[in-house]
Amino acid sequence: MGRFQELAFTPLVKQHQQEYGSRRQYERMAEQSPSGNTLGPDEQAFIALRDSFYMASVSETGWPYVQHRGGPKGFVRVIEPGLLGFADLRGNKQYISLGNFDHDARVALFFMDYPNQTRLKILGRVEIHEHDSEAPALIESFRPTEKSSVVERVILIHVEGFDWNCPQHITPRYTAEQIQEVIAPLSERLAKLDAENAKLREELRARSKIERA
């Protein structure tokens, strides 16, 4: 069985799958699912291109909490196939996720590619480096180029399992950068046409002056 299904498909989950007719389908899928916690080339390349992700944790009172994290592409780094890391920057100082991790190190991540309607789910365990001997070197290695950003700690995530989701119900959305990439050829063509038109107008004005002389 795939490691993700092993962790996520609890007896109660399987009971509902059986009830609604999807259990046999997932049993067949489990035979082809990743069996371990090692991210392959596709997963590593996908994460390297993401500029945000969603992170879920659970508090000591049992309430789940989902946090959105964003940054430049590649701010979440694949340190090795089973280990991710990112810089935890100073924010609104609520520290909800941080407090939850003190209670339970388990975490769920969603990496989204909205234009291509693709989603990568990862289950893992958090390892926090802030005041320990490894923290200074890790913080320095993850320090962003933006000088105003303050790295308070580095969060490492040991991958326990992962799974790709189907594209159903993922609404395509595009960032300003992605839109610019799509319209760049059109913008270049328009600029070229404007330059050609300006040159033609100059030639017509010059010809008109000669004819009137």
Helix axes of 11-20 and 23-30: crossing angle, nearest 10 degrees: 120
56 with 152, same domain? yes
For residue 191, give its domain range: 174-212
18 with 78, same domain? no
Structure token digits, residue 157? 């995530």
Where do the DSSP E strands lie in 10-140?
52-58, 64-70, 77-80, 83-89, 106-113, 118-129
31 band by pLDDT with thresholds 50, 70 and 90: confident
Residue for token digits 């694949």?
78
What proportion of the chain, given as a percentage, has pLDDT over 90?
69
| pLDDT tens digits for range 106-150 | 999 999 999 999 999 999 999 999 999 999 999 999 998 877 789
**Amino acid in position 117:** Q
95 with 56, same domain? yes
Specify if 31 maps to a domain: no
96 with 184, same domain? no
Specify if 67 maps to a domain: yes
109 with 195, same domain? no
193 with 99, same domain? no
153 with 53, same domain? yes
Nearest to 108 by CA among 159, 155, 53, 56: 56
Number of domains in the chain: 3
Backbone angles phi, psi at 198, to 5 degrees: -65, -40
Average pLDDT over residues 52-78: 96
Specify if 100 maps to a domain: yes
What are the residues facing 111 on neighbouring strands? Answer: 120
Specify if 105 maps to a domain: yes
| pLDDT tens digits for range 167-206 | 888 999 988 888 888 899 988 999 999 999 999 998 888 8
95 with 75, same domain? yes
Specify if 141 maps to a domain: yes
20 with 82, same domain? no
Last residue within a domain, chosen from 146, 165, 184: 165
Q: What is the C-alpha separation between 88 and 67, in angstroms, rounded? A: 12
72 touches 177 (CB < 8 A): no
7 with 42, same domain? no
Specify if 79 maps to a domain: yes
What proportion of the chain, given as a percentage, has pLDDT over 70?
98
Where do the DSSP E strands lie in the chain?
52-58, 64-70, 77-80, 83-89, 106-113, 118-129, 151-165
19 with 49, same domain? no
Specify if 32 maps to a domain: no
Residue 51 belongs to domain with CATH number: 2.30.110.10
Specify if 22 maps to a domain: yes
55 with 153, same domain? yes
